[in-house]
Structure 1
Amino acid sequence: MSPTYYEDVSPSTRTLAPRAWYAVSDAKRLPLNGVWAFRLSSTADSFGTEFTEDGYDSAGWDEITVPGHWVLQGHGAPAYTNVRYPFPVDPPRVPDENPTGDHRCVFDLPADWPGGGETVLRFDGVESCARVWLNGQELGTFQGSRLPHEFGVTSALRPGRNVLAVRVHQWSAGSYLEDQDMWWLPGIFRDVTLLHRPEGSVDDYTVHSSYDHTSGEGTLRVDCRPQGRVTVPELGIDAATGESVTLPVEPWTAETPRLYDALLTTAGETVPFRIGFRTVLIEDGQLKVNGKRILFRGVNRHEFHPEHGRALDEATMRLDVQLMKRHNINAVRTSHCPPHPAFLDLCDEFGLWVVDECDLETHGFSELGWQGNPVDDERWTPALRDRAERMVERDKNHPSVVIWSLGNECGSGAGLSAMSRWIRERDPSRPVHYENDQKCPDSDLYSRMYASHDEVELIGQRKEPPLEDAAADARRRALPFVLCEYAHAMGNGPGGLSEYQRLFETYERCQGGFVWEWIDHGLLRHTDDGRAYFAYGGDFGEEVHDGNFVCDGLLLPDRTPSPGLTEFAKVIEPVRIEPGSPGSHGSSATVLVRNLYDFAGLSHLDFEWSCQVQGETVAGGPLAVPPLRPGESAAVPLPPAPGSAGSERTAHADARTAPQPGGGPSRSGETLWTVRAVLARDSPWAAKGHTVAWGQLSGAPAPAGGRPGLRGATGPARHEGESITLGPAVFDAASGVLTRLGPLALTGPRLDVWRAPTDNDNGAPWQPETRNGPLWRRHGLHRMRHRTDTVAAGADGLLVRTRVAPAGTGLGLRTAYRWSTSGGRLRLAVTVEPEGGWDFPLPRLGVRLGVPAALGDVTWYGGGPGEAYPDTRAASMTGLWHSTVDNMQTPYVRPQENGARADVRWAELRDTSDASGGTGPHGPGLRIEADTHRFWLTARRWTSEELDAAEHTTDLVAGETVWVNLDHAQHGIGSQSCGPGVLPAHQLTVAPAEFALVFSIPD
């Protein structure tokens, strides 16, 4: 029995040859997007084809928006898998349970539609197989979801009323080639357009626009069927197609995206297009553009919207590009399929290096030892070639596209080689990328995913372990290296970005990488009572799914930048601002400014300095930085510190006597310089003044806690019934736990080592021996018990000795709390001595304190404004910050540890509500100061245990307490949800520890 069309490995029937995409010409076009009639069946053959006829009555059908996915419009449900196919693996067969959507669009052909020439019907994206009719005439079928397909419809089209009918099957032979890590979302999700092709119109065209960096000249040749002319008014070009023109030009790069407007004119059509002159080649083992090595500061980007799936409008695409540019990202890999072509127009315009990836992944065959893998089965080679051709022909004229990628995670096979050969012959001007075959037979780059820092360093040194095949090994060692995926941005993280970036900047072979990935793919849903949350795998009743692994982006689903994106932006800054030489009294310190751009100077930036004392800005102004070419640096003197000899007074008081926030006494304090590089003028992606880079350096230091500690102070502790009093504090006499400070009721503080494991703590299932989250649970750190051994009240304060330990083990932490008081302030000194064989790190080490829920306003001096952890703290700027407890939370799609602020010197929690609903101090607050070491501050309205138990943000319900963690140390974050774990330098090794805090009621 011959296969049905949706189980046929042939890619299409009766579709036109692929060609270049362009959005505008003077030829007529009719968008068919809008509301279509729709019905869904559970199998591929539940209904006949009567619905394709003109007289068919579809009055009982539903309506659906095209572009769109039917599973996001109330018909069926989405499903998420990462690797496994959600249907039996029996290529090319698919199950009888094959959701099938019939679509029907009735449209009127405009009365002025030209009568001559031809008319073409174009589909820019349909998942996963379509059969098409126009006015009852079958046009053909196609597969290849994220690729364009066109039909000639001249004979079927008629004046006036027309009926377009499309049957779309969720599963097809093509589904075996589309096992990408994303939601399965069937439907017509990109534009449908009717195009008039006049006699003599542009059948296809190819722009060749190279740049010679030695002469500064560009060479332009436009090949076209049929012949025509090319004009570029700005360059004075008026040439026949096929003719080469060489002349001085400004080159296109991602940093300087210079485009020239041009017109292509044939006998029947005029097409406007844009030209970017640039040359891409691999030379001396490096990937170069316009003769220079480039460094990818990139991200992987799936197309996604939390309500519309892969049906993106131009405004959303534009926002993506603007957000990338605002966060110093210069490259995007279109994982794992070609994007909407309009996205590439935006990359040309704004400036992004693009790795354009084919619509191909067969990852699910890894579960079968790659047996039956289509890329190594010659029956599938025509379909693979077809996908490569449709991508290259569609996108070939974009200067932003600098690399073609064959696909993702397909193992190895002859089909990939066939694709690579065709691409290299068709377009020798760009290298070809493929990661999954470590011998790199089909790739011009050595590409890896999630290689550890140590391995990247070996690769940078060209000392990686050799391949068995000496010739293949020698070839690979000569290739430039990229991490096509690294730094898995799932939940809280990724950690270790700074260390990766140092390797990229140290070894010329290491040319950067692409963080996985751009955005969390959480689908917007609401609880029964109307509260919004984002759903992930398993939330739609899927039999096979991979949970929240679909939420691993630098943006939250609503496109709010995560702390991970803020961190990445800081790590990859194109201008490095670092401390130079320190200044002595009366002399200026210097700041070292380095231009890390590959092509651009710094003329588009202004530099500003400011001086802060205890977080208060006391002086500032412009900073003169000399012109620096790419790679150059300069030591720039800063103005003298305010108050020093030779300095000019500002409108502020002497920096050394700046007033304290909260009404405290004037005092000397820590002095810091902050230098920023900001946009000197408005750009298409950010306004003037947008910060591109920043750095801080120390001036006059101060004690870690600001005011002197209480180590020499004494005050008697007295028993009063079931309580003990010590100055303004009241303790439970039995447990020694603090219950009140002045008028403020408190719970704790007590030693705390638990955090709600992050996705990176939980790790990937294929790393069972090194995942910290399961290890911590196995040892019971989520249910630590506290035993009070002694409570000793004396003339010099209160000493409480305890043992904190998990059930079922011999592990323990001997903990002593030493309390003293003076002048209304209460000092806590904590010592921790581990017992037993602690051969794994702790999540955190500090104390947890409960304060009344009304204390929801937080001011702190330390790192901010956002969260930070030991290996995600590059973006933490020392300053005086203010927030609410609610705004200190990061709403990760799956709740987990979040919200810590680093290097805190002091913090105040206050009640800012009053009876009239306004704001202002109301009731007692709490001030906490570091006395021996700076601390990590976390404040939330639920416990770590409640955070751990939550599956979605709507599971978190505020209680009557704000829980404050004051941590001496934190374990790092790492990237082990898919990549390497926490580097040794950022691990919280169990060891004896001492730290001290001072508590008081602020004025």
Structure 2
Amino acid sequence: MTHALPYFEDFAPTTGAARRPRSCLHSDAPRIVLNGDWRFRLSPTPRGLSDEMADPAFDDSGWDEIPVPSHWVLGQDGRFGLPAYTNVQYPFPVEPPFVPDENPTGDYRVEIDVPTDWQSLERVVLRFEGVESAFKVWLNGDEVGTAMGSRLSHEFDVTASLRPGSNVLAVRVHQWSIASYLEDQDQWWMPGIFRDVTLLGRPEGGIDDAWTRAEYDHETGAGTVHVEVDAEPTAFPVTFEVDGLGIHVTWDTPADIAPVHVDRVEPWSAESPTQYQGFLRTNVEALSTRLGFRTVRIEGDRFLVNGRRVVFHGVNRHEAHPERGRVFDEEHARADMLLMKQHNVNAIRTSHYPPHPRVLDLADELGFWVIDECDLETHGFEFGGWVGNPSDDPRFADAYLDRIERTIERDKNHPSIVMWSLGNESGTGRNLAAMSAWVHRRDPGRPVHYEGDYTGEYTDVYSRMYSNLQETESIGSDGIPGDLLGCTPGEGMRQRTKPFILCEYVHAMGNGPGQIGEYEDLVLRYPRLHGGFVWEWRDHGILTETADGEAFYAYGGDFGEVVHDGNFVMDGMVLPDDTPTPGLAEYKAVVQPVAFGLERDGGSATLVVENRYHSISTAHASLVWVLAVDGDDMATGVLDAAAVAAGDTARIPLPADALDAGELAADGAEGS
């Protein structure tokens, strides 16, 4: 006799009224944000727990309160457990789909007051932006459904259970689930409802989903907008407006939708992130969207945006805050990303999961090339030689596809995203190949990345972690032979026909990052090499106290974990308190987008200015010279020079007073 597995050990990623994934839309339709204080009860195991707490009449007066969003292991003085850190190893026995019986389970309840005019809505949708790691939902005692995928959005249709006035929402969250086998990222394990929860009203005649793809023709300067509208035929006519471009078109039926051409637009890039405000309107709803015109293309072994080769001076960015963990704080995220810009960081890999949706809004606004990575890592299977790895287990096929679909459908409208990544350190196998095939069908305009595809069977770029200088040079040069990791000679030849990136390199732990300059020299020498992403942007230390009240930043083992990976979580170029390290200052200097040289000829000298920006000139900067003697500044001046175009080099004669005895330094001072 067989017994059905509990839903948190079942291979189905969702059940019940779970809806298919869609974009994170900015709509004027009614919504209720459910963030705030919820009632909370923690149990050490789900075994024996009844569903009585889902009954609206259930008395939860003896429960605690907890803020949503939050992790229940943070900010609660340890009464609901403590964080645990592992890098590769799983913190429980590896026997999928089973998880430990000791599986902390949090029950949440909140009362929702729904206006009476919501009765006129066609549907009401309950949206969770992030829950770790599996959860079940009830509304007014009705079981709505279950879902897994911690850093992924999930929606449920709750129309049938919602009523005007008071409603009771109940959610049961399990720390461990079958999904935990797919979420073995190098970070703290921190359960809970840690992202926003929202009730979304959906009017009859509204737009369920939309995709506005804005392409740029670098040869003519023209732009084309491809609009995809998911709505019932009765929602039409649909109007598309972009006031800044003079676009105002109305489509009477779905069959009328056609690309919209604009003769001249300002393109979007990480250096000049021009966006245009657009709207999609029906008679009952307006969606706002931000258009960034850019085209991503691979030509041979070149990765091009708007016709020009991109060099990624990037970082791997986890969502980490010393007090809030992965709970999003927009002010902190904006400050973090501005600090990146100040240090010449132009790219972000969202290691190793889609970030909070607002992070991508900020990337669009501030200007970053983004690799958006799926919430997937099975690294712990490496210890067993990848035997039983879910990536090649057909029982996990639906879960893998569900994860990549949720990643892409949520984030498809962001111009900053120039590549999709299938995940991280998950070996290889049929499920990853199926993910890639789905992505290529759904979005052929963005390449697919995954470092573990060593032989290049299903990815568009060749990606590696920590290849040494010798091997990296052999990848960049056709004339330097060398075996490549995991490749036969023939497979290595295939990989050398693709653009190459280092998705992780110059590890920043301790006195790292090291050899930044040597890697940058290779990128400048070999156009096949397209830069890389430093591991990693910031330390993940958690602010806590010693027994006598002294504050410190904790790492693995500091919370009494038996299984942990120590201080390997402290490996960023920014400390937990937001202090930049000397390594970040070095990185800024090495990858600076304007390089200087000096050519002397007798009594004259010429300043050589090389513009390494992707797309902008030096018009925003002033060229300042300083004459120093024994380290003391003796004179200074500003050179009157024309702007240098992206990719060009200019030679500027230096004035006589800058050539007196001393040490001459040139600086590109940012203009206001």
What's the C-alpha RMSD, in Å, of the aligned pairs?
1.7
Please name the residue that 1:350 is paired with. Answer: 366
Does 2:641 correspond to 1:625?
yes
Alpha-carbon separation, structure 1, partners of 2:589 and 2:496: 31
Indicate the residue corresponding to 2:254 in structure 1: none
Q: How far is the alpha carbon of 1:442 from its aligned partner?
A: 1.6
Name the structure 1 match of 2:213: 208
User: In the alignment, what sits opposite 1:672?
Assistant: 663
Q: In the alignment, is residue 18 of structure 1 matched against residue 21 of structure 2?
A: yes
State the match for 1:734 in structure 2. none
> What CA distance in whole angstroms lies between the structure 2 residues aligned with 1:568 and 1:520?
16
Aligned partners of 1:671, 1:470: CA distance in 2, in Å? 54
1:126 aligned to 2:131? yes
2:483 maps to which residue?
465
- Are residues 1:548 and 2:605 paired? no
Is 1:476 the counterpart of 2:495? The answer is yes
**Equivalent position amino acid for 1:400 in 2:** S
Tell me the alpha carbon deviations over residues 196-218 of structure 1, each in whole angstroms, 9 at most, x when there is no partner: 01011111111121111112111
| TM superposition shift of 1:66 | 0.8
Q: What secondary structure sits across from 1:87 in the alignment?
A: coil
Of 378, 394, 398, which residue of structure 2 is paired with 1:378? 394
1:432 matched to 2:448? The reply is yes
Tell me the CA shift for residue 468 of structure 1. 6.2
The yes-or-no answer on 1:52 pairing with 2:45 is no
Deviation at 1:135, TM superposition (A): 1.2
**1:174 corresponds to which of 172, 176, 179:** 179
Distance 2:230 2:69 in 1: 31
- 1:99 is displaced (CA, Å) by 0.8
CA deviation string 1:426-464 (max 9, x = no partner): 110000001113102121011100000111111000333
Decide whether the 8 Å contact of 1:114 with 1:196 is kept in 2: no
- Tell me the alpha carbon deviations over residues 368-396 of structure 1, each in whole angstroms, 9 at most, x when there is no partner: 11111001000100000000000010011
1:514 aligns with 2:533: yes
| Paired position in structure 1 for 2:258 | 243
Moved more, 634-643 or 55-64: 634-643
Q: CA deviation at 1:352?
A: 0.4
Structure 1: gaps of 5 or more residues = 645-669, 682-1003
Q: Is the 8 A contact 2:292 2:415 kept in 1?
A: yes
Choose the corresponding residue for 2:523, options 479, 497, 504. Answer: 504
Who is 1:567 aligned against?
Answer: 586
1:580, distance to aligned residue in structure 2 (A): 3.2
Number of the residue aligned with 2:617: 601
Contact 2:129 2:153 in 1 (8 A): yes
CA contact under 8 A between 1:139 and 1:151: conserved in structure 2? yes
Q: How many percent of aligned residue pairs carry the same amino acid?
A: 53
Q: Which residue of 2 aligns with 1:485?
A: 504
Question: Matches of 2:143 and 2:566 in 1, distance apart?
Answer: 41
Question: In structure 2, what is the Cα distance between the partners aligned to 1:588 and 1:312?
Answer: 56
Question: Could you tell me how far apart the structure 2 residues matched to 1:47 and 1:205 are?
Answer: 41
Amino acid at match of 1:640: A
Q: CA deviation at 1:109?
A: 1.8
Q: Which segment is superposed worse, 101-110 or 458-467?
A: 458-467
Partner of 2:551: 532
Structure with the higher fraction of residues in helix conformation: 2
Contact kept, 8 Å, 2:509 with 2:571, in 1: the verdict is yes
CA distance in 1, matches of 2:46, 2:607: 68
Tell me the distance in 1 between the aligned counterparts of 2:489 and 2:558.
50
Q: What is the rounded CA distance, in whole Å, between the counterparts of 1:547 and 1:471 in structure 2?
A: 40
Which structure has more relative contact order (CA 8 Å, sep 6+)? It is 2
What's 1:320 paired with?
336
Secondary structure at the aligned position of 2:104 is classed as strand
Residue 483 of structure 2 aligns with an amino acid whose one-letter code is P
Q: 2:67 aligns with which of 50, 65, 68?
A: 65
What code does the residue aligned with 1:674 have?
A
Over 3 Å counting, the alpha-carbon distance change for 1:231 and 1:642 in structure 2 is closer
Q: Matches of 1:419 and 1:674 in 2, distance apart?
A: 52
One-letter identity of the residue aligned with 1:676 = D
Write the distance in 1 (CA, Å) between the matches of 2:119 and 2:469.
62
Aligned mates of 2:285, 2:133 — CA distance in 1 = 33
Letter in 2 for 1:525: T
Tell whether 2:36 aligns with 1:34.
yes
Give the letter for the 1:304 counterpart.
A
- Of 427, 431, 446 in structure 1, the residue corresponding to residue 462 of structure 2 is 446
Aligned equivalents of 1:401, 1:301: Cα separation in 2: 14
Secondary structure in 2 aligned to 1:315?
helix
Change (3 A) 1:434 1:643: closer
Assess if the C-alpha contact under 8 Å between 1:537 and 1:547 holds in 2: yes
Q: How many Å separate the matches in 1 of 2:482 and 2:628? A: 47
1:366 partner SS: helix
Give 1:183's aligned residue.
188
Counterparts of residues 710-749 of structure 1 (less than 5 Å): none
Alpha-carbon separation, structure 1, partners of 2:186 and 2:398: 24
Deviation at 1:156, TM superposition (A): 1.2
Matches for 1:205-284 after TM superposition, within 5 Å:
205-226=210-231, 227=236, 228-240=238-250, 242-247=257-262, 248-284=264-300
Q: Distance in 1 between matches of 2:662 and 2:574?
A: 34
Tell which deviates more after alignment, 301-310 or 47-56. Answer: 47-56
Give unmatched runs, 5+ long, in structure 2: 252-256
- Aligned residue type for 2:216: Y
Q: Tell me, in whole angstroms, the C-alpha distance in 1 between the residues paired with 2:402 and 2:335.
A: 31
Which one has a bigger Cα radius of gyration?
A: 1
Q: How many residues align?
A: 652
Q: Tell me how far 1:138 sits from its aligned partner.
A: 0.9
1:100 aligns with 2:110: no
Q: CA deviation at 1:222?
A: 0.8
Which residue type is aligned with residue 314 of structure 2? G
Contact 2:476 2:496 in 1 (8 A): no
Q: CA deviation at 1:589?
A: 3.9
What is the CA-CA distance between 1:528 and the residue it aligns to? 3.6
d(CA) in 2 for partners of 1:548, 1:355:
27
SS in 2 for 1:581: strand
CA distance in 2, matches of 1:527, 1:348: 41
- What does the per-residue CA deviation read over 1:771-807, in whole Å, with 9 as the maximum and x for residues that have no partner? xxxxxxxxxxxxxxxxxxxxxxxxxxxxxxxxxxxxx
**Do 2:604 and 2:659's aligned partners in 1 also have CA atoms closer than 8 Å?**
no
Amino acid aligned to 2:29: A
1:153 aligns with 2:158: yes
Q: Is the 8 A contact 1:600 1:629 kept in 2?
A: yes
Q: Does 1:336 align with 2:352?
A: yes
- Say whether the 8 Å CA contact 1:595–1:628 is kept in structure 2: yes
Deviation at 1:301, TM superposition (A): 0.5
Bigger drift between 272-281 and 522-531 goes to 522-531
User: Do the aligned residues in 2 keep the contact of 1:434 with 1:440 (CA within 8 Å)?
Assistant: no
Question: C-alpha distance in 2, partners of 1:642/1:459?
Answer: 43
Alpha-carbon distance in structure 2 between the residues aligned to 1:402 and 1:234: 24
SS class of match (2:572): coil
CA-CA distance at 1:221 after TM superposition = 1.8
Asked whether the 8 Å contact 2:605–2:659 carries over to 1, the reply is no
Amino acid of the structure 1 residue aligned with 2:20:
A
* CA deviation map 1:32-73 (0-9, x unaligned): 001111111111235322211112221221111111100013
The secondary structure found in structure 2 opposite 1:222 is: strand
The residue type paired with residue 197 of structure 1 is: R
2:46–2:104: 8 Å Cα contact kept in structure 1? yes
Match of 1:43 in 2: 45
Alignment deviations for residues 4-52 of structure 1 (CA, whole Å, 9 cap, x no partner): 0000011011210101112x32111110001111111111235322211
Aligned partner letter, 2:322? P
**Would you say the 8 A contact 1:537–1:550 is kept in 2?**
yes
> Does the CA contact (< 8 Å) of 1:108 and 1:162 recur in 2?
yes
Q: CA deviation at 1:188?
A: 0.5
Which of 471, 483, 488 is the matching residue for 1:455?
471
2:483–2:492: 8 Å Cα contact kept in structure 1? no
**Rounded Cα–Cα distance in structure 2 between residues aligned with 1:551 and 1:578:** 37
User: Is the Cα contact below 8 Å between 1:588 and 1:641 reproduced in 2?
Assistant: no
TM-score of the two chains, using structure 2 as the length reference? 0.94
Question: TM-score if structure 1 supplies the norm length?
Answer: 0.64
* CA distance 1:222–1:240, change in 2 (3 Å): farther
User: Alpha-carbon deviation of 1:643?
Assistant: 10
C-alpha distance in 2 between matches for 1:138 and 1:8: 17
- In structure 1, the residue matched to 2:302 is 286
**8 Å Cα contact 1:70/1:186 also seen in 2:** yes
Query: Which SS does the other structure have where 1:43 is aligned?
Result: coil
